């Protein structure tokens, strides 16, 4: 009931509609430094992509590539994000954290800063702070003072220190902790708390909707006080009081193996899986991918009753293994294992009827 009320209150959802896209794909043939794209971040007309062999910028129809020779910390860029306040680009790499600002790179490592570890999986910039997820704990940089803070098992409930992603908002900061569930920081009280799988670390879901679906978390997204969590064994949604879990067997998820979750408004949510890109509007699901058997472009729609139908499409994302997404107006950019995909919104909608 609460989900239905919230769904109805958001006029932008366009009841009865599912988004459809014309896909254009970019690979090394078009200028990417590598086809394995781990992350994408949109900044107006600038598209930043973190790849296995450098950082790439797409603007005005052209690609520009940055490598360690240009000052980048490491060639493997695992995550990229734009500071909306300064428009600096932050790159999480296998060899440190890099900031691209005013045409130059500044790199932070264990040797020259308070970075917890040089293997950096995620970064989130908001206001005066930059929050960082590393292989050995979390770090926070105060951009105004230059002061670093370190968070690990000594000063948080973190019993595993492998932090895999982070998202910062005005009131909460969330970390996905690999094997340790989700860690929450309350900005107002400066207190930490954790959320864990009530089943422990088993691969069986014994208590459906009674808590986080699994301890191995990969991504967190928090909008309008709704927390979404991606794991390697399904997805979870938490509204502050109740949990709801999603598995491929009882939802439109094409797979339980999730690399990222990104919610638009707490309801409309995108899931990056190893078997395609999935979208949930609160009632229905859509999956966009090359078909797993024929590799032909495919769009699947699953309605609220669980009925699945194929929609005729001419294009699809570059690959079904999806690492992450970001949005450019109504368009979507998708990081895949075989290229970067641009989903250009088509105004012909898919009806539920």
Instruction: Return the domain boundaries, the chain.
Output: 38-284
77-120 tens-digit pLDDT: 999 999 999 999 999 999 999 999 999 999 999 999 999 999 99
Q: What pLDDT sits at residue 7? A: 35
Q: How confident is the model at residue 8 (pLDDT cuts 50, 70, 90)?
A: very low
pLDDT of residue 5: 34
Q: Report the chain's mean pLDDT, rounded to a whole number.
A: 93
Give tens-digit pLDDT for 28-72: 999 999 999 999 999 999 999 999 999 999 999 999 999 999 999
CA dihedral 269, 272, 277, 279 (to 10 degrees): -10
Does the pTM of the predicted model rise above 0.85? yes
**Confidence check: pLDDT of 193 > 50:** yes
What pLDDT digit, counting tens, does each position of 15-36 carry?
A: 348 999 999 999 999 999 999 9
Q: Is the pLDDT of residue 352 over 60?
A: no
Residue 61 backbone dihedrals phi, psi, to 5 degrees: 75, 10
Band of residue 199 on the pLDDT scale cut at 50, 70, 90 = confident
3-state secondary structure the chain: CHHHHHHHHCHHHCCCEEEEEEEEEECCCCCCCCCCEEEEEEECCEEEEEECCEEEEEECCEEEEECHHHCCCCCCEEEEEECCCCCCEEEEECCEEEEEECCEEEEECCCCCCCCCCCEEEEEEECCEEEEEECCEEEEEECCCCCEEEECCCCCCCCCCCEEEEEECCCEEEEEEECCEEEEEECCCCEEEEECCCCCCCCCCCCCCCCCCCCEEEEEEEECCEEEEEECCEEEEECCCCEEEECCCCCCCCCCCEEEEEECCCCCEEEEECCEEEEECCCCEEEEEECCCCCCEEEEEECCCCCEEEECCCCCCCCCCEEEEEEECCEEEEEECCEEEEEEEEEEEEECC
Model confidence at 349: pLDDT above 60: no
Can you give the pLDDT at residue 15?
Answer: 38
Q: Which residue has the tokens 């939802």?
A: 251
The per-residue pLDDT for 294 is 95
Q: Please say if the pLDDT value at position 9 is more than 50.
A: no
Is residue 53 a contact partner of residue 84, using CB atoms and an 8 Å limit? no
Contact 6, 18 (CB under 8 A): no
In tens, the pLDDT along 282-313 reads 999 999 999 999 999 999 999 999 999 999 99
Largest CA distance in the chain: 60
CATH architecture assignment, domain 38-284: 7 Propeller (2.130)
| Strand ordering across the sheet containing 322-328 | 17-26, 339-351, 331-336, 322-328
275 vs 200 pLDDT, higher one: 275
pLDDT value at position 353?
Answer: 47
d(CA 157, CA 262): 25
Residue 210's pLDDT band (cuts 50, 70, 90): confident
Q: What is the pLDDT at residue 205?
A: 66
* pLDDT of the residue at 347: 79
pLDDT band for 208, please (50, 70, 90 cuts). Answer: confident
Residues facing residue 243 across a β-bridge: 238
């Amino acid at each position: 009931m609460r989900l239905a009320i919230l769904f109805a209150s958001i006029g932008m959802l366009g009841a009865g509609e599912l988004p459809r896209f014309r896909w254009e794909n970019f690979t090394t043939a078009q200028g990417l430094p590598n086809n394995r794209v781990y992350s994408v971040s949109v900044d107006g007309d600038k598209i930043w992509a973190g790849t296995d062999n450098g950082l790439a910028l797409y603007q005005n129809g052209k690609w520009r590539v940055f490598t360690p020779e240009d000052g980048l910390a490491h060639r493997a860029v695992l995550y990229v994000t734009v500071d909306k306040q300064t428009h600096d680009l932050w790159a999480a790499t296998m060899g440190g954290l890099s900031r691209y600002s005013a045409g130059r790179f500044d790199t932070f490592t264990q040797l020259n800063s308070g970075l917890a570890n040089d293997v950096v999986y995620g970064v989130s910039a908001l206001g005066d702070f930059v929050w960082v997820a590393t292989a050995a704990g979390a770090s926070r940089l105060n951009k105004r003072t230059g002061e670093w803070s370190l968070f690990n098992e000594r000063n948080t409930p973190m019993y595993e220190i492998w932090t895999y992603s982070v998202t910062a908002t005005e009131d909460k900061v969330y970390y996905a902790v690999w094997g340790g569930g989700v860690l929450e920081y309350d900005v107002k009280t400066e207190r930490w708390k954790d959320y864990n799988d009530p089943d422990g670390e088993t691969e069986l879901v014994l208590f459906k909707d009674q808590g986080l679906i699994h301890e191995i978390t990969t991504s967190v997204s928090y909008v309008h006080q709704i927390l979404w969590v991606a794991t390697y064994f399904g997805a979870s949604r938490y509204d502050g009081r109740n949990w709801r879990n999603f598995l491929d067997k009882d939802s439109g998820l094409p797979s339980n193996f999730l690399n990222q979750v990104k919610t638009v408004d707490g309801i409309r949510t995108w899931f990056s899986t190893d078997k395609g890109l999935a979208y949930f509007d609160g009632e229905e699901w859509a999956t966009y991918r090359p078909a797993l058997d024929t590799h032909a472009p495919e769009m699947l729609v699953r309605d609220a009753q669980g009925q699945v139908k194929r929609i005729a499409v001419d294009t699809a994302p570059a690959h079904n293994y999806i690492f992450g997404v970001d949005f450019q107006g109504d368009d979507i950019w998708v990081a895949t294992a075989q290229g970067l995909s641009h989903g250009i919104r088509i105004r012909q909608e898919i009806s539920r009827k």
